[in-house]
Amino acid sequence: MSVSLRRLHTRLLLAICIPLILVSTTLLPVLHVHMESRLDSLHTEADALLKVGQEALTRDINESLNYALAIAEMPALRRYLAAQDNSSISAQPYSLSDLSQLSTFLNTLISHNPRYTKLVLIDNHGSEVLRAPKSIQTGHRVNGNHHAYTDYFKEASSLQPRDLYISPPGRNLQFELMGSDVIPVVNVSTPVFDAMGERRGVVLLSLNWDYLTSALRQAMLLDQDANAILIDAQGRWLLDEGIPPLNTTSFGSDFAALSPLYWQAMQQRNTGHTKVDGQLLRFQTEDIRTQRYRSLAGTVFSENAYYPWKLGVTLPLPTWRSLIEEETTVLWFLLLTYGVAVAFGIFWVLSSQRQRQLRRAAQRHAHEVSDLYENAPCGYHSLDATGRVIKMNRTELAWLGYTDEEVIGHITYRELITPETRDQFDKAFANVKQNQPSSAECSLLTRNGEQRHVMIQASAFCRNGQFVHSRATVFDLTERKELEEKLRAQAMTDPLTGVFNRRYLQAQATTEISRARRQNLPIALIAIDIDHFKHINDTYGHDAGDDVLKNFTKIVTKLLRQEDLLCRVGGEEFAILLPNTSLSQAEQVAERIRRTTAVTPINVTAEHAEQALWLTASLGVTTILDNEKALKPALKRADIGLYQAKDNGRNQVVVNAM
């Protein structure tokens, strides 16, 4: 190896080692100071979290105890317990309404306070006299409704006013079914004295321990990495949930056996900091029997063997790796000085990332365009020169009821068009193949045989002047066509009776007259007017008049042939066009209508009661003459006959042939 090459290698080695040494000697003191700072801030954070937890625990327990005292001093409750004591001659009777009000009040009080699961009133003999809510059952240690042998009754029975007894959490565990959950409870009991200072019984409140400890954990776990600890003097876990890193399971589990390192550290002192298993443990002693927790209570009693508690919080200790990971930005800036290779690497990463972003944007854009094409509110398709479908979007396929495998490459579009409109399509497609944009209004035949009216607008895609395929947009006109038909029908129909109106009569008469002349057939016309219709409106109201018109229409319709045309031409005036009917036949039809109307009662509702009306009608009959091309002259002659019938006394038919 030449000298120059060895020097090159040495310089390269120095260029790598010297920056590494300089960066390391600069970074290590900074990291050490930062580590000390992090530990100090971690101690401060642990102290703050523990203080928040201690305040939350104190507040919640004090509120719970004060609540029990307030209930025990309720006058209504005292009077009720006094009424249960038969030996008290001076006690006033307690009515059922008072009991109902008290029970309802206590049920509402407990049901709306998630802090408690139940409230039980116990007399001096240990017998239960009231429970709220009624659905919560007593634990297995109580025989029926008798509490005389329970710790909470025996202890509370010997207490003075405003003293309380608390069953230690974790001792003789009690659970209750609340909703669909089984929750642990802690019993709080206090004696009840009447206004004369005579002992009347005991109030038992069962604390929802899940609710209390959940509030404690939520108050302490401001840091997502923090874990709260609450254990009693026996090493029993008192929180509603376990902490997997601490090998705990659930309320009442043996924390001392499951996490001996933590238990030993907390047993050595009443308060302090310690490091256990990569965690900073901050703890202090809590005793709910002390003055801090008494608040409004006189003295709080419980089992000495289970106190004091230890309240603590754990936070993960910082490591060199975590510090380095937190200082990634600084390290990247320092490492940039190592050379051009790093710069090229960063440049390559950034350029690759940019390429990926551009590629993803292109894919996303292509997907959006494809989705817009496939799910557009109109149809799209492309046809080759033979008219075969080479592309069709989902919208048009859904209209037709086919899948793309059935259509694309297998069907010519002309097969999907009804025979009546294929000529329009053929003409438009021929124009498109000549590179002339064109359109056609056609009807598509769907798979289930229905027709869908569409407008097709198409243009050609050409390459080097040669037709490649068509590009067509298809607009659904079905609803518009249906609307047009509906509007046309409404324009020709009387909205009240449902028969045709005067406009339709005149339009249809022209057609029928022309057909009659071609086939040399007679055609007749009958004019009808309901007699005394104004009297009906004035007497029974316009609603009754409308009922008369509708029922009269039904009567006449049943007497006509299918080809006869009944129309309402005025208020109570009707006209009937009778194709292929002579004058004498028309007179017979009119007479049949007159007789049937006169003998058919029509039920109407007037003054909130149903009444039967008897109608008569006057009719004029004529025929349309050979030289008449419109209906107007015949309609006039029929009206003249109608008026003659009315002048002659109504309820008759008059023929006016000329």
Cα gap 628→649, rounded to integer Å: 31
Q: Is the N-terminal amide bond of 133 cis, ω within 30° of 0? A: yes
Residues linked to residue 203 through DSSP beta bridges, in sequence order = 121, 190
Active site includes 303?
Answer: no
Sequence letter at residue 86: N
Cα gap 64→300, rounded to integer Å: 12
- The candidate with the shortest Cα–Cα distance to 171, out of 186, 157, 155, 182, is 186
Largest CA distance in the chain: 146
Q: Is the dihedral of CA 7, 13, 19, 25 positive or negative?
A: negative
Return the SS3 of 399. helix
CB atoms within 10 A of CB 301: 16
Beta carbons of 611 and 602 less than 8 angstroms apart: no
Residue 261 C-alpha from the chain's centroid: 50
Cα gap 517→527, rounded to integer Å: 22
**Residue 9 has which token pair?**
């290698």
Cα gap 304→291, rounded to integer Å: 16
State which H helix or E strand residue 397 sits in: helix 394-400
Sequence letter at residue 620: G
Cα gap 258→277, rounded to integer Å: 14
**Phi/psi zone of residue 513: left (φ > 0), alpha (ψ -120 to 50 degrees), beta?**
alpha
Close Cβ partners of 301 (under 8 Å, ≥ 6 residues apart) = 155, 159, 163, 164, 165, 166, 289
Cα gap 345→348, rounded to integer Å: 5
Cα gap 566→564, rounded to integer Å: 7
Cα gap 248→217, rounded to integer Å: 15
**HSE of 105, CA atoms in CB hemisphere, 13 A:** 11
Q: From the candidates 155, 572, 573, 628, give the one annotated as an active-site residue.
A: 572
Q: Residue holding tokens 């007593």?
A: 138
**HSE of 571, CA atoms in CB hemisphere, 13 A:** 9
**Residue 403 has which token pair?**
């899948």
Catalytic positions are: 572
